[in-house]
A and B are shown apart, each in its own frame.
Chain A
Amino acid sequence: MASAPWPERVPRLLARRLPPYPPPPPTVGLPSMEQEETYLELYLDQCAAQDGLAPPRSPLFSPVVPYDMYILNASNPDTAFNSNPEVKETSGDFSSVDLSFLPDEVTQENKDQPVINKHETEENSESQSPQSRLPSPSEQDVGLGLNSSSLSNSHSQLHPGDTDSVQPSPEKPNSDSLSLASITPMTPMTPISECCGIVPQLQNIVSTVNLACKLDLKKIALHAKNAEYNPKRFAAVIMRIREPRTTALIFSSGKMVCTGAKSEEQSRLAARKYARVVQKLGFPARFLDFKIQNMVGSCDVRFSIRLEGLVLTHQQFSSYEPELFPGLIYRMVKPRIVLLIFVSGKVVLTGAKERSEIYEAFENIYPILKGFKKA
């Protein structure tokens, strides 16, 4: 899934004008209504962003500022930026986006989804620009900036009330702040790759659910197909289904662990299927407390990495014992993710409870890895 430019990267000028707003907790599976409202905020932020430039930030810090955008949308206090990742998810899978057009491209506009139009017009009384589209997740900061430049709303003072022309020239002050944005290493909270659109793919999801009833493992093993049960070796039934291809460990207490799915929905679906199997066997199985325990993602940065340099400069986070394991183990603190980085450029991320953590971790590590690129 590709990444959209985060307007908050564009300087936190907004902070000057608006009091900070406490960030709501990120929600998973954000409904599209909120997602549109989020996009609106992005626009508004863009506009206000025209005031100046923000100081560069270390990629390891989480941005505090985006929340100030909430002020603009006081009516949507629940919109969380963290929701963006979910938004990205629902937007479907975008393959790697070519960022080479940064920062002076207008063509992005063409890729816009005219999704939020109606919302924007509600909120944005001044500008009813039909072109004020929400940048699709595949857009970059630039796209947003350009979009917002076409909005003339009360929040933006820099903009000459541009018309609906979505071709606001790149030479607008926008590009300044945008080019700044592209070089400002801020930590986005969404899977925007400021790099080249590499997005980690999920490889494995481990989840647990409570069926809330005592189970007779022997009966299950006898009647269910694809079930193994060897009480001497392990006190659980191992069941497998083909679609989605997963494995479940079912314990007599009613707790179940489901592994092998490639996405959250698949994991949930698989867990439900297992629960149904158990139900059909006559147990009053329910589906309580479904929780994703671990998510594993992987990707390839496509260049060799000099691990000796990385382990030296990031000693407190990394351990590299090539005689033990060929990869460097990097324990990122925020988000709390463990990355396995290999010389070939492959990166495996694990320990996440949410997809956004994987994306965020990768965004954090990518600039660091680029610094140790082996020519």
Chain B
Amino acid sequence: MNNTAASPMSTATSSSGRSTGKSISFATELQSMMYSLGDARRPLHETAVLVEDVVHTQLINLLQQAAEVSQLRGARVITPEDLLFLMRKDKKKLRRLLKYMFIRDYKSKIVKGIDEDDLLEDKLSGSNNANKRQKIAQDFLNSIDQTGELLAMFEDDEIDEVKQERMERAERQTRIMDSAQYAEFCESRQLSFSKKASKFRDWLDCSSMEIKPNVVAMEILAYLAYETVAQLVDLALLVRQDMVTKAGDPFSHAISATFIQYHNSAESTAACGVEAHSDAIQPCHIREAIRRYSHKIGPLSPFTNAYRRNGMAFLAC
């Protein structure tokens, strides 16, 4: 799914006019998040700023599309169903989102059982909160599922390769840490957009929207933002790995022209050498990752542009 934002290739991505002069910046949090996702100990500030722009752009556009869907059905708030609807095409990412929702439900159930105060509060709140997200997801997918493949996802037990890879990377990263570093790493891992819900809301400028997302929808948006950052880091690490020409690599002469062009463009050379000097992810890696991600490869790609809105593909869905 695509958005109408400016192309990611420009360095100063300003998403839709409301971001200019915005005082809310998640750059420091993003730096921590990137560290916890596999970047170096101190990720670059420029990279964090770029990632923030990318995530912001994508989220704003996602929100706009979700608002459109909501309007279509005449609702007044953006509900999780709208977001699930937008994600229906990508099975793997949808499955990951569903798993996340279930784990959230499960965790509330357990924590409730442990603390008696929580238990009381839950009882007093009146509604049956157990598995609420799961129910929402199941009911909705039930209603839109024509072929049965969406519902099949609930029983699906395949390993999520992307998540697996992230777990392995984290494990490798932590194996060599001492306990002080590890404590710091754990704290970074705990950072998320949902912890800073109000800042997140302001960052997305939700108050100026006509149709606002409800609570569960905000949770999902925070999760999607985090997923976007994670995807960017995954892809950037891959790109960085590619950039390092290994001796004996038979294809080193065949690196794509655009790639070399990137390297030679004014902004990138300043930011990153051919071989990255520091361990941190450079903005050029991010840009290259997005370029590759948006690039539709296939026999019909030249002919699909007409149906594609310009701009970058969503990373999170």
Interface residues of A (CB under 8 A from B): 203-204, 206, 230, 233-234, 236, 238, 247, 249, 259-260, 294, 296, 304, 306-309, 311-312, 315, 319, 321-326, 329, 338, 340, 343, 348, 350-351, 374-375
0/1 string, B183-218, CB within 8 A of A gives 1: 100100111101100000000000000000000000
Distance of A28 Cα from B189 Cα, bound (Å): 43
B 154-206 contacts with A by CB, 8 A: 167-168, 170-171, 173-175, 177-179, 182-183, 186, 189-192, 194-195
Residues of A within 8 A of B119 (CB): 206, 259
Is A304 within 8 A of B183, CB to CB? yes
Contact of A238 among B120, B189, B192 (CB under 8 A): B120
Q: A residues within 8 A CB of B35?
A: none
Contacts of B36 on A, CB cut-off 8 Å? Answer: 322
| Residues of B close to A294: CB separation below 8 A | 113
Residue of B123, B167, B194 touching A308 (CB-CB under 8 A): B167
Q: Which residues of B contact A374 (CB under 8 A)?
A: 177-179, 182
| A343 B186 Cβ-Cβ under 8 A | yes
- Closest B residue to A233 by beta carbon equals B124
Query: Within the assembled complex, what's the spacing in Å between the Cα atoms of A350 and B189?
Result: 25
Name the residue of chain A whose CB is nearest to the CB of B116. Answer: A259
Tell me, in angstroms, the Cα distance from A374 to B36 when the chains sit together: 17
A230 to B120, CA, bound (A): 13
Task: Pick the residue among A203, A326, A340, A375 that contacts B186 (CB under 8 A).
Answer: A326
**B262 part of interface (Cβ distance < 8 Å):** no
With A323-B226, A338-B110 as contacts: A306 and B174 at CB distance below 8 Å: yes
Counting CB contacts under 8 A, is B104 at the interface?
yes
Interface of B is mostly: helix
Within 8 Å CB of A323, what residues of B? 189-192, 194-195, 226
Contacting residues, chain A, for B126 (C-beta < 8 A): 233-234
Minimum CB–CB distance from A332 to chain B (whole Å) comes to 13
Min CB–CB distance A215 → chain B (angstroms): 17
In the A-B complex, the 8 residue pairs with the closest CB atoms? A323-B192, A322-B189, A259-B116, A308-B170, A308-B171, A322-B190, A308-B174, A234-B124
Closest residue to B111 on the A side, CB-wise? A325
Beyond contacts A308-B173, A319-B103, A375-B178: 15 other A-B pairs, Cβ-Cβ < 8 A, are A236-B123, A238-B120, A296-B114, A306-B182, A312-B168, A322-B186, A322-B189, A323-B226, A324-B103, A326-B186, A343-B183, A348-B114, A350-B110, A374-B177, A375-B179
Is the CB of B140 closer than 8 A to any CB of chain A? no
User: CB-nearest residue of chain B relative to A260?
Assistant: B116
Report if A249-B123 is in contact (Cβ < 8 Å); known contacts: A323-B194, A324-B107: yes
User: In whole angstroms, how far apart are the Cα atoms of A139 and B18 in the complex?
Assistant: 71
Cβ-based interface call for B106 (8 A): yes
Q: Are A309 and B175 in contact (CB under 8 A)?
A: yes
- Assess whether B100 is interfacial by the CB under 8 Å rule: yes
Q: How many Å from the CB of B11 to the closest CB on chain A?
A: 29
A340:B175 contact, CB within 8 angstroms: no
Chain A residues within an 8 Å CB radius of B174: 306, 308-309
Task: Please list the residues of chain B having a beta carbon within 8 angstroms of any beta carbon in chain A.
Answer: 36, 100, 103-104, 106-107, 110-111, 113-116, 119-120, 123-124, 126, 167-168, 170-171, 173-175, 177-179, 182-183, 186, 189-192, 194-195, 226
A323 to B104, alpha carbons, bound, how many Å?
A: 11
Tell me the minimal C-beta distance from B306 to chain A in angstroms: 40
CB distance from A189 to the nearest CB of B (A): 24
A329 touches B107 (CB 8 A): yes
Whether B179 lies near A351 (C-beta < 8 A) is no
Q: How far is the CA of A234 from the CA of B128 in the complex (A)?
A: 12
> Are the CB atoms of A343 and B182 closer together than 8 Å?
yes
Determine which residue in A230, A234, A306, A324 has the highest number of CB atoms from chain B within 10 A of its CB, and name it. Answer: A324
Query: CB within 8 A of A304: which of B116, B182, B191?
Result: B182
Chain B residues, Cβ within 8 Å of A319? 103, 106
Given known A-B contacts A304-B182, A306-B182, A323-B189, A340 and B110 have beta carbons under 8 A apart: yes
Interchain nearest-CB distance for A250 vs B (Å)? 12
Given A308-B167, A308-B171, A312-B171, A326:B114 Cβ within 8 A? no
A312 to B170, CA, bound (A): 9
B170, B177, B183, B192 — which one has the most chain A CB atoms within 10 A of its CB? B170
**Distance in angstroms between the alpha carbons of A368 and B211 in the assembled complex:** 50
- Known interface pairs A296-B113, A340-B110; A312-B186 also in contact (CB < 8 Å): no
- Least CB distance from B162 to A in Å reads 14
Complex Cα distance, B198 from A264, in Å, reads 43
Q: How far is the CB of A354 from chain B (nearest CB, A)?
A: 16
| Closest B residue, CB atoms, query A296 | B114
In the complex, how many angstroms separate the beta carbon of A323 from the nearest chain B beta carbon? 3
Min Cβ gap A325→B in Å is 5
Per the bound structure, the CA–CA distance linking A203 and B170 in Å amounts to 33
- Chain A to chain B contacts (Cβ below 8 Å), 29 pairs: A204-B114, A204-B115, A206-B113, A206-B119, A230-B124, A234-B126, A247-B120, A249-B120, A259-B116, A296-B113, A304-B182, A304-B183, A306-B182, A308-B171, A309-B174, A322-B189, A323-B189, A323-B226, A324-B107, A325-B111, A326-B186, A326-B190, A329-B106, A329-B107, A329-B110, A343-B186, A348-B114, A350-B113, A374-B182
Give chain A residues whose Cβ lies under 8 Å from the Cβ of B177.
Answer: 374
Select the residue from A296, A351, A374 with max chain B CB neighbours within 10 A: A374
List, in ascending order, chain A residues with CB within 8 A of B100's CB. 321, 324
